[in-house]
C-alpha cells in the first residue's frame, strides 16, 4: 500500500508550511509549489498521456502569479488530468459568484481562508473514500542535472 499524495499550490510560504504540516501529520506525501503549473509532476504542456494521476488530492490558492487557482483547475481538466475534480479544492479569501459557479461546474470544492481545519478534515475524509491506494501514482520527475 502506498502513501497518499497531496499537491499544494500557494504563493505564501507560511500557508504552504501550515498545509504541509497538516497533511504530513496525516501520513501524506506532500508536493508543494509556490507557483502554479498545470502538471508539476509530469511537467508536460500537452494533454495528459499518463495512465495514473499525479496525486490523490490537490489544493490551490486562488490568487497566484501567472494564473489563478480556477484557471489552474480548468487547464488541468482541458489537458485530461487523471486526478478526479472532486478531490481538488480552491483556497481563497473571497470568491465571487462567477468563479464559484465555474468551480461547481468543475466539481471542485472551495474553502475560505483562513481555512478551518475541521472543515478541511471532513472534506479530506470524503476524498479518502474515493482514493484507491492499490493503484500507483505517477512518479515525480527526477529534476537533477
- Average pLDDT value for residue range 123-133: 96
CATH number at residue 80: 3.40.50.2300
Residue 51 lies in a domain: yes
Residue 3 banded pLDDT, cuts 50, 70, 90? very high
In terms of Cβ atoms closer than 10 Å to its own Cβ (0-12, 13-18, 19+), residue 114 is exposed
Which pLDDT score is estimated for 45? 60
Residue 25 covered by a domain: yes
The pLDDT value given to residue 27: 97
Does residue 56 sit within a domain? yes
Domain range spanning residue 29?
A: 5-130
Assigned domain for 144 exists: no
23: three-class secondary structure by DSSP: helix
Query: How many angstroms separate the CA atoms of 48 and 82, rounded?
Result: 8
| Comparison of pLDDT for 52 and 140, the residue scoring more | 52
pLDDT digits (tens, 9 = 90+) for 47-95: 777 778 889 999 999 998 888 999 999 988 888 888 999 999 999 887 7
Instruction: Reply yes or no on whether the pLDDT at 34 is more than 50.
Output: yes
- Give 41's pLDDT tier (boundaries 50, 70, 90): low
139 domain residue, yes or no? no
Closest to 115 measured CA to CA, from 36, 18, 27, 35: 18
Question: How many whole angstroms separate alpha carbon 131 and alpha carbon 2?
Answer: 11
Total domain count, the chain: 1
Residue 143 lies in a domain: no
Q: Tell me if 86 sits within 8 A of 129, measured CB to CB.
A: no
Residue 143 has pLDDT above 50, yes or no: no
Residue 135 falls inside a structural domain: no
27 DSSP assignment? T
This prediction has a pTM of 0.89
Asked, for residue 120, whether it belongs to a domain, the answer is yes
Look over the chain and give the mean of its residue pLDDT values, rounded to a whole number: 87
What is the per-residue pLDDT for 96?
A: 82
What cell was used for 110? 472551495
Amino acid at each position: 500500500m502506498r502513501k497518499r499524495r497531496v499537491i499544494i499550490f500557494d504563493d505564501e510560504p507560511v500557508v504552504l508550511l501550515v498545509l504541509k504540516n497538516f497533511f504530513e501529520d496525516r501520513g501524506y506525501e506532500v508536493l508543494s509549489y509556490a507557483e502554479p503549473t498545470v502538471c508539476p509532476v509530469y511537467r508536460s504542456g500537452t494533454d495528459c498521456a499518463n495512465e495514473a494521476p499525479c496525486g490523490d488530492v490537490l489544493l490551490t490558492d486562488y490568487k497566484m502569479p501567472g494564473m489563478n487557482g480556477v484557471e489552474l483547475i480548468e487547464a488541468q481538466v482541458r489537458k485530461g488530468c487523471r486526478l478526479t475534480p472532486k478531490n481538488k479544492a480552491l483556497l481563497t479569501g473571497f470568491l465571487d459568484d462567477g468563479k464559484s459557479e465555474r468551480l461547481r461546474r468543475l466539481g471542485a470544492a472551495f474553502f475560505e481562508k483562513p481555512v478551518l481545519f475541521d472543515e478541511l478534515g471532513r472534506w479530506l475524509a470524503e476524498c479518502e473514500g474515493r482514493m484507491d491506494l492499490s493503484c500507483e501514482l505517477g512518479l515525480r520527475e527526477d529534476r537533477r542535472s
